[in-house]
Amino acid sequence: MTNTQDTSTLKMTARNVDIFYGDKQAIKNVSIDVSMEHVTAFIGPSGCGKSTFLRTLNRMNDTISSARVTGDIRLDGEDIYSSSMDVVQLRARVGMVFQKPNPFPKSIYENIAYGPRIHGLATGKSEMDQIVEKSLKRAGLWEEVKDRLQDSGTALSGGQQQRLCIARAIAVDPEVILMDEPSSALDPIATAKIEELIHELRGRYAIVIVTHNMQQAARVSQRTAFFHLGTLVEYGETSDIFTNPREEKTKDYITGRYG
């Protein structure tokens, strides 16, 4: 199914991944590649397993005790489920942005500084200030908040909160950023800003985005994967998927016949 062996550098590879919740199988035999400087979109109807799969890429499923993952998922060729892979480092390298903005009830500054601080990425106050400023700039939030860095992160608007969460993820210098429907809780204007931001961030990171919104997938992604009932139905260049899907199911979905 992986037909995307072009010039881009492979960042993450998943091969024959099955995911179980207790006895229930949520993902069946999925193989997929994620490349640097690309945005990969996961689309599909609710409950198709796209978010579940996304969460295995930085092992957030570990927090659910009944979840079990088999198969082979590699980051830069290193098995992320092997015992030598440290989950704390993995999550620093593979950041995540959630559906609902979830800033910590701390100041804007402390929200950004949290990650670098726990990972020991800054040696002094001035370096931390630099990281905070750089992260906020990259997330396009600096101009809006630079005069009120000590205000609470929860006092921002929904769209600003989500950009704060993106800045927070950027601050630990990740290689991959996973986004789980990052704009589904936002209004159209805030959504547009997030999409613009994803577009800008693409140059530095491998981005994986789960979305309900097919227009959004078409707008922001270069590759698209279509999930249905826990299986990966089709994966390819976004333009191909939307204009010339190979599978009948994909066609039905993007033309709005179900989902």
Partner 1 sequence: MIQIAIFLVIGLALVGFAVGRGRATAFSVGRTAAAVRPHSRPNHHGAHVLLWTLVPALLLLLLSSALVPPLVNDAVLSSLPAAQRPQNPMDRAALLDEVRSIAAGESSGGFIAASNSLVPAYKVASAKFNGIATGLILLVAVIGGLFGFSRVRPDFRARTKVERLTMTVLLLASLIAILTTIGIVGSLLFESMRFFSMVSPLSFLFGTHWSPQASTGAAVDVTAFGAIPLFWGTVFIGAIIAMLVAIPFGLMSAIYLTQYADPRVRTWLKPTLELLAGVPTVVYGYFAALTIAPPLRDFAVSIGISSASSESALAAGLVMGVMIIPFVSSMADDSIAAVPQAMRDGSLAMGATPSETIKRVLVPAALPGIVGGVLLAVSRAIGETMIVVMAAGLAANLTLNPFASVTTVTTQIVQLMTGDTEFDSPKTLAAFALGLVLFLVTLALNIIALRVVKKYREAYD
Partner 2 sequence: MTEPTTMKRQPTDWKSPDMVQRIKRRYAAERRFKAMGMVAILISVAFLAFLLISMASNGARGFMRTDVRLPIDFPASTLMVDPASFKGSSDDVDQLLAGLDFEGPVAAAAEQAYGAEGGALLADSAWLIVRDAIKADPTLLTRKAELWVPASSDVDIAYKGEGEKPMRDRVAAMKQAGQVTSGFNLGFLTGADATDPTIVGIWGAFKGSLLTMIVTLLFAFPVGVFSAIYLEEYAPRNRWTDLIEVSINNLAAVPSIIFGLLGLAVFLGLFPTLRSAPIIGGMTLALMTMPVIVIAGRNAIKAVPPSIRDAALGIGASPVQVVFHHVLPLALPGILTGTIIGMARALGETAPLLMVGMRAFISAPPASFTEPATVLPVQIFLWSDEVSRGFVEKTSAAIIVLLVFLLAMNGLAIYLRNRFETRW
- Tell me: does residue 218 bind partner 1 (CB under 8 A): no
Candidate residues 9, 66, 118, 151; the one interacting with partner 2 per rule CB under 8 A: 118
- Tell me: does residue 172 bind partner 1 (CB under 8 A): yes
Pick from 37, 34, 39, 41: which is nearest to 58 by CA?
A: 34
- Tell me: does residue 163 bind partner 1 (CB under 8 A): no
The binder of 173, among partner 2, partner 1, none, by C-beta within 5 to 8 A per type, is partner 2
Nearer to partner 1, 118 or 215 (CB): 118
- Tell me: does residue 105 bind partner 1 (CB under 8 A): yes
Q: Quote the CA–CA distance of 102 and 181 in Å, as a whole number.
A: 13
Q: Are 154 and 163 a contacting pair, CB within 8 Å?
A: no
- Tell me: does residue 195 bind partner 2 (CB under 8 A): no
Residue 87 C-beta: closest distance to partner 1, Å: 8
- Tell me: does residue 91 bind partner 2 (CB under 8 A): no
Fill in the amino acid letter for 152.
S
Long-range CB contacts (within 8 A, 24+) of 63-66 = 64/21, 66/21, 66/22
Q: Are 154 and 103 a contacting pair, CB within 8 Å?
A: yes
- Tell me: does residue 81 bind partner 1 (CB under 8 A): no
Half-sphere exposure of 237 (CA within 13 A, CB side): 9
- Tell me: does residue 114 bind partner 1 (CB under 8 A): yes
Which spans in the chain are helix H? 50-56, 87-93, 108-119, 125-138, 142-145, 158-171, 188-201, 214-220, 238-243, 248-254
The binder of 38, among partner 2, partner 1, none, by C-beta within 5 to 8 A per type, is none
Stretch that binds partner 1, among 8-16, 25-33, 97-105, 196-204 (CB under 8 A): 97-105
- Tell me: does residue 36 bind partner 2 (CB under 8 A): no
The binder of 91, among partner 2, partner 1, none, by C-beta within 5 to 8 A per type, is partner 1
Q: Quote the CA–CA distance of 123 and 86 in Å, as a whole number.
A: 23
Residues that bind partner 1 (CB under 8 A): 58, 60, 63, 65, 87-92, 95-96, 98, 100, 102-106, 114-115, 118-119, 165, 168-169, 172
